[in-house]
Every structure is written in C-alpha cells, then in structure tokens.
Amino acid sequence: MFIKYFLILSGLILISATAGRASAHHAFGAEFDPNRPLILRGPVTRVEWVNPHAWIHMEVTKEDGSKENWMVEGGTPNTLLRRGLTRNSLTPGTVIIVDGYQSKDRSNRANGRDVTFTDGSKIFMGSSGTGAPSDGRDPTERQ
C-alpha cells in the first residue's frame, strides 16, 4: 500500500510541479538563448522592483579588467513583498553570483536561473521573522 501511494503521489506531484513550470508569465525559452550560457559575478548596482518580473542590475568585471553592466530577470516582486521583503532587501554593492542564459537579443540581459551570494547561499533566504522561506542560517531558527 505504501509503495502504491508513493508511486501515485510521485505522479501527482510531478504533474503538479510540471504544470507550475509550464505556467510562467511568459516563455523564457523565447526570451533567452540556450546556446549562450553564462556565469556572472559582481556587485549589485540597483534593483528594478517591477512587474511582470523584477530585474537585478549588476556590474561584471571582464577578464581584461573592463566592466559591463548586466540585468538579471527574476520573478514577480509581489511574492517577495508579501513575505515582507522589499527592493531595499538587496542592497547595492552586495556581490552576487548568477548563472543563466543570455537574452536572444544579445543584450546584456540574462535569466536568474540561480542567484546566490558569494558563499553559494540563496539571495532573499534566511529572512526569519518576515515569513520568508527559511534555510536554517538565521540564528533564531536554531532553537
């Protein structure tokens, strides 16, 4: 019985998760180029807290020492706002790492497939007390 339910639930969850992924605001596959993967490291310069998707601006230093400004696409800010987070939660100067794919228009835009701090921890996590998802790094969660 346990195995039966496990299999059934796995199917249910898979379908539910897939349905969710298939229902983003717009098709990321139409916007970003799978043949242009990239990893970006650098400080945040500003955050555009706009719908339908927020954009994190950052400065990236290239190998030759020159600097480029990049924009990274996230999700709707409404979700974070509801959790008590604002555009000021990610302050300019904070160094982040982004992996994603460049926009098909070849501009300096990318999807924020994974956006983290330099230690690999997720940005916007660990904000205990705001209702945000927790990751155990906040001391108040270690009681």
Partner 1 sequence: MTPAMKRIARNSLLALASQTILVLGAFADGPRSADGHPDFSGTYNIATVTPVQRPRVFGDNLLLSPEAADRMVAEAQARKVAGQQDSDPNRGAPPAGGDGSSGAAGNVGGYNSFWIDNGDTAFTIDGKFRTSIITSPKNGRRPELTADGKRRAAERRAFYRENRGDAWWLEVEGPGPYDGPESRTLSDRCLLGFGSTGGPPMFPVLYNNLKRIVQTPTHVMILVEMVHDARIVRLDSEHPPQSVRKWLGDSIGWFEDDTLVIETTNFSDRPALSMATRDLKVTERFTRVDDTTLLYSFVVEDPNTWTAPWGGEYPWPATEERVYEYACHEGNYAMEGILKGARILEAEAMTDSD
Minimal distance in Å, beta carbon 114 to partner 1? 5
For tokens 């998802």, name the residue.
133
Query: Is residue 134 part of the contact set for partner 1 (CB under 8 A)?
Result: yes
- 31 exposure class (CB count in 10 Å sphere: 0-12, 13-18, 19+): middle
Query: Is residue 16 part of the contact set for partner 1 (CB under 8 A)?
Result: yes
Minimum CB distance to partner 1 smaller for 13 or for 92: 13
Restricted to residues 41-100, the positions that interact with partner 1 (CB under 8 A) are: 48, 50-55, 71, 73-76, 78-82, 97, 99-100
Q: Is-cis flag, bond preceding 52, omega within 30?
A: yes
# chain residues binding partner 1, by CB under 8 A: 82
Minimum CB distance to partner 1 smaller for 59 or for 104: 104
> 99-135: buried (b, 16+ CB within 10 Å) or exposed (e) per residue?
bbbbbeeeebbbbbeebeeeeeeebbbbbbebebeee
Minimal distance in Å, beta carbon 65 to partner 1? 20
Among 47, 58, 90, 112, binds partner 1 (CB under 8 A): 112
Minimum CB distance to partner 1 smaller for 93 or for 120: 120
Closest to 14 (Cα-Cα) out of 2, 26, 25, 22: 22
Minimal distance in Å, beta carbon 32 to partner 1? 4
As a whole number of angstroms, the distance between CA 19 and CA 136 comes to: 29
